[in-house]
Amino acid sequence: MAVQTVIRAGQHGSPPPAEVVLAYSRDKFSVPANVDIIGTMNTADRSLTLLDTALRRRFDFVPLMPDTRGEREPGNPNSAPLADLVVSTDAGVIDVRQLLQLVNERIEALYDRDHCIGHAYFTSLAGVKDGPGRFGLLADIFRNRIVPLLEEYFFEDWRKIRLVLGDNQKQDLAAQFITESDAHEQDLT
């Protein structure tokens, strides 16, 4: 959208300091002086490279890494969203915070820090009672969101994806997300 900018100084009920005229409607648009606009963008999305470069020239960027803190801040119930979040299974207890931290350490080692998986993928687990239902949701998160994301990150390099998921360390094939196969294509002619 093309805009023309008109800058005015204003406080205490006077017009806001920045006002733009919208290109098509010619309506005036402004944001009150007491409102901050915060935009988020996934730096891993390279289709936004030109936009990212333009924004970085004009604004401050504060990296927000996945929140894997183990303890909440006193008086702030929204801090450390994965603290004490566990998934109980017949095979043991999965600490979601530690799981995410380990997966992200592997992603950072194999790719880079910008491709770490955010904690928001797992916050929905808190709304489900611990047990089989929560485990099913965790499995769905990996199957439908994490593994496809890793496929994109690593261009379907399944060996790297297996390393990120720790499948190379699991003896039980049923516990692996992705299994290696020595199967060869058969000549069907």
pLDDT of residue 175: 83
Q: Where are the alpha helices (DSSP H) in the chain?
A: 49-58, 96-110, 132-141, 147-153, 158-165
Q: Are 108 and 116 in contact (CB under 8 A)?
A: yes
Tell me the pTM: 0.69
pLDDT by residue, tens only, the chain of 189 residues: 233 333 334 445 555 566 888 888 889 888 777 776 666 666 666 667 777 777 778 777 777 889 999 999 999 888 899 999 999 999 899 999 999 999 999 999 999 998 999 999 999 999 999 999 999 999 999 999 999 999 999 998 999 999 999 988 888 888 888 887 755 444 444
Q: Are 163 and 172 in contact (CB under 8 A)?
A: no
Cα–Cα nearest to 106, from 146, 47, 54, 55: 146
Dihedrals phi, psi of 44, to nearest 5 degrees: -75, -15
